[in-house]
Chain A
Amino acid sequence: MWMPLLRAELYKIFKKPRTYLGFGVIAAVTLVIQLAMYANGQSFVDFVLQGIQEQFDVEGNILNGYLVTYIILNLLLAQVPLLVALVAGDALAGEAGAGTLRLLLTRPIGRTRLVLAKFTASSIYAILLLLWLAVIGLGLSLLVFGRGDMLNFTADRLIMLLSDDIFWRYLGAFGFAALALITISTLALFFSAMAANAIGPIVSTMGVIILMTIITNLELPLFQAIKPFLFTTHMVAWKGFFNEPVPYGAMLQSALIMLAYILVLLGATIFVFKRKDIQT
């Protein structure tokens, strides 16, 4: 029963036109950034390197596919949560509003299994979005800008990563980003279980992310105590793969916190959904 249910959920997701909105947005934004880098990327590189270039001669293919992809991820991974919330927020609430939820629940499926199937399907969607980003972002950037060593500009350090030491980092970064997006989709699914209309869960999810992001970024003593427990603090941990040395300890902690969020939210979703009266 599990596989037919998951297949049905995935089929429904990919039969809806709005699903492809996410892929379209990612492609459009990525291409715009790549175009900008192609046209003016060297100016950007010169600007960020000016402090270094006062004292060092830096040569080589700096504006390469790896750097461009890193810039794309920095800009885009903050926006992809909305695309994920669009699908996950609709998963239960959309069906409740359309009346198809009661049709599904008259089948011998079970509510827990249904939630798990929707969770899995939403997660697969998030992963596919990232794969698409990897192809369009990393693949196309490497094709256009070529390979090379990557310079990571932080506020107080310049980190150079050798060309043959980068690809695995991107695999890790995308994997970590997948965990972050699955956290978002689980949050959206949780809100979706309580609503009969998809708009509410989508807006609620974005509202929570915005609020937590503000708290994460505000350097106020009031927020310091709670920052480590907010998943938005840990969502950016994928960048750690581009530090040297890679802070595996901190990143593992971030991964565990996000995993905890996923488990708690999923458990809460099942709890809420099992007790809910299906009135629509």
Chain B
Amino acid sequence: MAIPIIEAKNLTKHYGSIVAVHDLSFAIPPGVIYGFLGQNGAGKSTTMRMLLGLIHPSSGEVFILGKSLRKEGARLLRHIGAIIERPDLFGYLSGWDNLRMMANLSGQDISDQHLHDLLKLVHLQGREKEKVKGYSQGMKQRLGIAIAMAHNPDLLVLDEPTNGLDPQGIAQMRELILQLSREFGKTVLISSHLLYEIEQMADQMLIIHKGRKMVEGPVHELLHADETLVEVNYRPHPEMAALVAASQWVALVQEVHEDRLVLKMKPALVPELNRWLVEKDVAVQQLSTRHSLENYFLNLTQEQDSYVDAPATRRTLQNL
């Protein structure tokens, strides 16, 4: 079994009486895109910072390629390229100056040509002479990726890389990350508060909530691709419960109300369900499908605040 690129063992971080991260353990094997999912304030950034030595854990340890970060020190960071939160760069320097300077600090001999290739990869060629303070958010993110990639690290740590980007920027960033993984064989640790984003990119994922690990595993397993939750909203039908009990759908029912029905079923059966509802004169107002994991994640957030769960196929969990 390959040594994990990075491993967290029982990481805990206290700030006085506040526990930001509690006994968190996980291991990232080489070659995967690992999703780190949690709402704002769940402990994602704190964990990422502990992985990079920016924050000292109250207890627990981080291992990079099997070596303790606490013992070996910063030299292990040559295996990692990272963007933590937004990529704050030296605004008074040009893109090229930022890239060249940070490449020089990686402890390796990196040619100008390699850096130009990276700029091309992140679609910044021709813009490198401009001062960074004039860059858009998307350009800064892409330059951040180039800087993280400059020394050809084994692991890329990207903390919410699509934050602040427009839909086009998000799509471009996603494509880039996938390219880095598929074409360049990079292991990527990506954090986000967007399940959708993790779902689109990650091979494996971990959900963190209030500093604790809630779920971990391969994305396709966690999301139960062959089963979804189907929610049907309709005009109040007092006989609905009896109708469902007498039907072939009874085994799949999760919840039944006068105006709402939730079933767990394969997506291929949705058209049949639809036909049955029409036959039974149920005045359907809305039918939506949701993965069970998304539901799980939404429920987690609903414990904390008064955000009303609006029916949607995909949901963002920002600013709860």
From B74, B81, B90, A100 is in contact (CB under 8 Å) with B90
Closest to B84 in A: A102
Q: Which chain B residues in 63-96 approach chain A with CB under 8 Å?
A: 73-78, 80-82, 84-93
Is the CB–CB distance between A108 and B106 below 8 Å?
yes
Contacts of A1 in B (CB 8 A): 105, 107
Across-interface contacts of A98 in B (CB, < 8 A)? 88, 90-91
Chain B stretch 23-82: residues in CB contact (< 8 A) with chain A = 49, 52-56, 73-78, 80-82
Q: Which residues of B contact A102 (CB under 8 A)?
A: 49, 54, 84-85, 88
User: A11 to chain B: which residues have CB within 8 Å?
Assistant: 97, 101
Q: Which residues of A contact B55 (CB under 8 A)?
A: 277-279
Tell me, yes or no, whether B104 is within 8 Å of chain A by CB.
yes
Residue of B nearest to A276 (CB): B56
Would you call A157 an interface residue if the criterion is a C-beta within 8 Å of the partner chain's C-beta atoms?
no
Q: Are A103 and B87 also in contact (CB < 8 A) when A5-B105, A110-B74 are?
A: yes
Q: How many residues of B contact A (CB 8 A)?
A: 33
Distance in angstroms between the alpha carbons of A98 and B98 in the assembled complex: 14
Among A16, A111, A275, A278, point to the contact of B74 (Cβ < 8 A). Answer: A111
The SS class assigned to the A binding surface is: helix
Residues of chain B within 8 A of A111, CB atoms compared: 74
Residue of A nearest to B52 (CB): A106
A4 contacts the other chain (CB 8 A): yes
Q: Which residues of A contact B91 (CB under 8 A)?
A: 98
Inter-chain contacts of A7 with B (CB < 8 A): 104
Cross-chain contact B56 with A108 (CB below 8 angstroms): no
Interchain CA distance A230-B242 in the complex, whole Å: 90
Q: How far is the CA of A108 from the CA of B80 in the complex (A)?
A: 9
Q: Residue of B at shortest CB range from A106?
A: B82
Q: In the complex where A7-B104, A279-B55 touch, is A108 in contact with B92 (Cβ < 8 A)?
A: no
One of A15, A107, A278, A279 near B102 (C-beta < 8 A): A107
**Once the chains bind, are A107 and B106 in contact (CB under 8 Å)?**
yes
A277 to B80, CA, bound (A): 19
Which residues 5-48 of A have a CB within 8 angstroms of B?
Answer: 5, 7-8, 11-12, 15-17
Is the Cβ of A103 less than 8 Å from the Cβ of B101?
no
Q: Are A99 and B54 in contact (CB under 8 A)?
A: no
Q: Are B102 and A99 in contact (CB under 8 A)?
A: no
Partner of B84, one of A17, A106, A109: A106
| Chain B: minimal CB distance from A11 (Å) | 7
Instruction: For the complex, give the distance between the alpha carbons of A205 and B219 in Å.
Output: 54
A4 to B86, CA, bound (A): 25
Most buried by B among A17, A111, A277: A277
A258 to B121 CA separation, bound complex (whole angstroms):
52
- Whether B107 lies near A105 (C-beta < 8 A) is no
In chain B, positions 98-143 with a C-beta closer than 8 Å to chain A are: 101-102, 104-107
Distance between Cα atoms of A111 and B77 in the complex (Å)? 12
B80 to chain A, nearest CB (A): 7
Interface centre among B77, B78, B85 (most CB of A within 10 A): B77
Interface string of B270-288 (1 = CB under 8 A from A): 0000000000000000000
Q: Given A5-B105, A100-B88, are A106 and B93 also a contact pair (CB < 8 Å)?
A: no
A278-B55 Cα distance, complex, nearest whole Å: 6
B contact residues around A110 at 8 Å (CB): 73-75
CB distance from A57 to the nearest CB of B (A): 60
Is A78 among interface residues, defined by CB-CB distance under 8 A?
no
Beyond A106-B77, A107-B77, 16 extra complex contacts between A and B, CB < 8 Å: A1-B105, A4-B105, A15-B90, A99-B85, A99-B86, A102-B84, A102-B85, A103-B89, A106-B52, A106-B54, A107-B106, A107-B107, A108-B76, A109-B105, A275-B56, A278-B55
